[in-house]
Protein backbone atom coordinates (compact mmCIF):
# COMPACT_ATOMS: atom_id res chain seq x y z
CA UNK A 1 0.00 0.00 0.00
CA UNK A 2 1.29 3.43 -0.89
CA UNK A 3 1.62 6.12 1.74
CA UNK A 4 1.59 9.32 -0.28
CA UNK A 5 2.82 12.05 2.03
CA UNK A 6 4.10 15.58 2.04
CA UNK A 7 7.53 16.94 2.85
CA UNK A 8 8.06 20.67 3.29
CA UNK A 9 10.79 23.23 3.81
CA UNK A 10 9.30 26.58 4.69
CA UNK A 11 10.76 29.98 5.32
CA UNK A 12 14.20 29.50 3.82
CA UNK A 13 15.75 32.97 3.93
CA UNK A 14 18.18 34.44 1.42
CA UNK A 15 19.76 37.79 0.61
CA UNK A 16 19.69 37.95 -3.18
CA UNK A 17 19.86 40.35 -6.12
CA UNK A 18 16.73 39.55 -8.13
CA UNK A 19 14.77 42.33 -9.78
CA UNK A 20 14.43 44.59 -12.80
CA UNK A 21 15.47 47.81 -11.10
CA UNK A 22 19.12 48.82 -10.78
CA UNK A 23 18.76 49.36 -7.01
CA UNK A 24 17.61 45.74 -6.60
CA UNK A 25 20.64 44.51 -8.52
CA UNK A 26 23.02 46.56 -6.37
CA UNK A 27 21.48 46.55 -2.88
CA UNK A 28 19.68 43.24 -3.04
CA UNK A 29 16.68 42.29 -0.98
CA UNK A 30 15.41 39.67 1.45
CA UNK A 31 13.70 36.64 -0.05
CA UNK A 32 12.03 33.56 1.33
CA UNK A 33 11.49 30.27 -0.46
CA UNK A 34 8.98 27.57 0.45
CA UNK A 35 9.02 24.02 -0.90
CA UNK A 36 6.24 21.45 -0.67
CA UNK A 37 6.48 18.02 -2.26
CA UNK A 38 4.37 14.89 -2.41
CA UNK A 39 5.78 11.41 -2.81
CA UNK A 40 5.32 7.82 -1.72
CA UNK A 41 6.77 7.65 1.79
CA UNK A 42 5.96 3.95 2.37
CA UNK A 43 9.56 2.73 2.25
CA UNK A 44 10.86 5.53 4.48
CA UNK A 45 8.03 5.01 6.96
CA UNK A 46 8.93 1.31 7.22
CA UNK A 47 12.71 1.48 7.04
CA UNK A 48 13.73 4.70 8.83
CA UNK A 49 16.30 5.05 6.02
CA UNK A 50 17.14 8.44 4.49
CA UNK A 51 17.75 6.76 1.12
CA UNK A 52 14.02 6.02 0.91
CA UNK A 53 12.90 9.64 0.90
CA UNK A 54 13.97 13.06 -0.33
CA UNK A 55 16.77 14.62 1.70
CA UNK A 56 15.85 18.13 2.86
CA UNK A 57 19.50 19.16 2.76
CA UNK A 58 19.66 18.35 -0.97
CA UNK A 59 16.53 20.40 -1.64
CA UNK A 60 18.01 23.31 0.31
CA UNK A 61 21.30 23.08 -1.59
CA UNK A 62 19.51 23.33 -4.95
CA UNK A 63 17.44 26.30 -3.81
CA UNK A 64 20.40 28.09 -2.23
CA UNK A 65 22.47 27.72 -5.40
CA UNK A 66 19.70 28.98 -7.70
CA UNK A 67 18.95 31.91 -5.36
CA UNK A 68 22.59 33.00 -5.70
CA UNK A 69 22.19 33.57 -9.46
CA UNK A 70 20.65 37.03 -10.10
CA UNK A 71 17.51 37.13 -12.23
CA UNK A 72 15.22 39.95 -13.22
CA UNK A 73 12.06 37.90 -12.65
CA UNK A 74 10.97 35.76 -9.71
CA UNK A 75 9.38 33.50 -12.32
CA UNK A 76 12.84 32.75 -13.70
CA UNK A 77 14.28 31.96 -10.28
CA UNK A 78 11.37 29.67 -9.40
CA UNK A 79 11.55 28.02 -12.83
CA UNK A 80 15.23 27.18 -12.45
CA UNK A 81 14.60 25.73 -8.98
CA UNK A 82 11.73 23.59 -10.31
CA UNK A 83 13.84 22.25 -13.19
CA UNK A 84 16.70 21.24 -10.89
CA UNK A 85 14.44 19.58 -8.30
CA UNK A 86 12.60 17.74 -11.07
CA UNK A 87 15.92 16.40 -12.43
CA UNK A 88 17.31 15.29 -9.07
CA UNK A 89 14.10 13.90 -7.54
CA UNK A 90 11.97 12.09 -10.13
CA UNK A 91 10.23 10.23 -7.28
CA UNK A 92 8.28 13.39 -6.40
CA UNK A 93 4.67 12.94 -7.51
CA UNK A 94 4.14 16.69 -7.43
CA UNK A 95 5.72 19.71 -5.79
CA UNK A 96 5.59 23.47 -5.56
CA UNK A 97 8.15 26.21 -5.07
CA UNK A 98 7.19 29.67 -3.82
CA UNK A 99 9.68 32.55 -4.07
CA UNK A 100 8.80 35.70 -2.12
CA UNK A 101 10.47 39.11 -2.27
CA UNK A 102 10.16 41.24 0.88
CA UNK A 103 8.93 44.82 0.41
CA UNK A 104 8.91 44.92 -3.40
CA UNK A 105 9.58 48.29 -5.03
CA UNK A 106 6.02 49.43 -5.72
CA UNK A 107 4.36 52.81 -5.31
CA UNK A 108 2.57 51.87 -2.12
CA UNK A 109 2.62 49.39 0.75
CA UNK A 110 3.26 45.74 -0.06
CA UNK A 111 4.88 43.30 2.32
CA UNK A 112 5.69 40.65 -0.31
CA UNK A 113 5.61 39.86 -3.99
CA UNK A 114 5.37 36.13 -4.65
CA UNK A 115 5.53 33.60 -7.44
CA UNK A 116 4.52 29.97 -6.99
CA UNK A 117 5.23 27.30 -9.59
CA UNK A 118 3.69 23.83 -9.47
CA UNK A 119 5.08 20.66 -10.97
Query: 101 an active-site residue?
Result: yes
CB-facing half-sphere around the CA of 7: CA atoms within 13 A: 22
- Residue 85 to residue 83: CA distance in whole angstroms: 6
What number of H helices and E strands is found in the chain?
Answer: 4, 4
Cα separation values, 87 from 90, 91, 104, Å: 6, 10, 31
Q: Which of the following is catalytic: 88, 101, 102, 103?
A: 101
Catalytic residues: 101
Amino acid sequence: MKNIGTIELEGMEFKAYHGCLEQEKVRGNSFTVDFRGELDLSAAADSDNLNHTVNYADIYEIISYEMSIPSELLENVAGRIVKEIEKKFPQLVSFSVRVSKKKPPVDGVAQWSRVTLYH
